[in-house]
């Protein structure tokens, strides 16, 4: 009788150990990719969108989460082409549920393109998107280099401001540098477009150099 009890106890302990090992293995298979996904979520919060291999999971829901994370990063990378990382990353976090209002003096830049509608009618959609992409890319680069914040694109227009959300005592100088840099860059783009024998965009203020400074 004692021998049977010992055998039963041994089998029970062995089964418990096997179950424990299986549970540890399963939890590891789940927790490891979830840990990587959590790290990626933190990186995305800082707009660190470089592709990264998160591996794969045999658990369908975890695999779907991995794929969704990579899809989100790919979409944000496309968005990041026109918006500088500094204005998207959480460099100046607000408290949850709080509003911090502060009166400040800023410098604002508005720029749009002369005769955009007429030029757009001469271009097919692919050419229009390509030229606008180059122009907006140039504008974003100049704004970021001069420590400005890109506010919005409205059709062919660009709005940006300097001095917020991070205070900048030289905000007027930064705006002037961006405006002049945009003029110089657009001249280079227009020469490129001319070589390609295509219509050439011109900002509405390009005919009055120095107007902003």
Residue 5 confidence (pLDDT): 65
Judged on CB neighbours under 10 Å (0-12, 13-18, 19+), 65 is: middle
Most confident of 19-23, 42-46, 180-184, 205-209: 180-184
pLDDT, tens digit (0-9, with 9 covering 90-100), for 34-49: 777 787 877 777 667 7
For the chain, domains (ranges, CATH) are 7-80 (no CATH), 105-195 (3.30.70.1230)
* φ/ψ of residue 122, rounded to 5: -90, -10
Query: 66: which 2 tokens?
Result: 């991995």
Quote the mean pLDDT of the chain.
Answer: 76
Residue 172 confidence (pLDDT): 93
Structure confidence at residue 77 as a pLDDT band (50, 70, 90): confident
Inter-residue contact 87 to 69 (CB < 8 Å): no
């Amino acid at each position: 009788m004692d021998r049977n009890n010992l055998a039963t106890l041994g089998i029970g302990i062995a089964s418990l150990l096997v179950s424990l090992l299986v549970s540890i293995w399963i939890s590891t298979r789940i927790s490891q990719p979830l840990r990587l996904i959590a790290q990626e979520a933190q990186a995305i919060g800082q707009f660190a969108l470089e592709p990264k291999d998160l591996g794969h999971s045999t658990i369908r829901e975890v695999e779907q989460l991995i794929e969704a994370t990579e899809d989100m990063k790919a979409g944000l990378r496309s968005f990041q082409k026109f918006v500088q990382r500094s204005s998207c990353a959480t460099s100046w976090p607000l408290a949850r549920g709080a509003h911090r209002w502060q009166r400040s003096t800023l410098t604002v830049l508005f720029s749009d393109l002369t005769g955009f509608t007429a030029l757009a009618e001469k271009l097919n959609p692919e050419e229009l998107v390509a030229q606008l992409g180059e122009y907006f890319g140039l504008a974003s680069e100049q704004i970021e280099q001069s420590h400005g914040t890109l506010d919005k694109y409205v059709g062919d227009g660009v709005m940006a401001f300097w001095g917020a959300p991070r205070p900048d005592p030289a905000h007027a100088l930064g705006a002037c540098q961006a405006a002049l840099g945009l003029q110089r860059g657009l001249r280079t783009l227009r020469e490129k477009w001319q070589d390609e024998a295509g219509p050439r965009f011109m900002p509405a203020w390009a005919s009055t150099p120095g107007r902003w400074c």
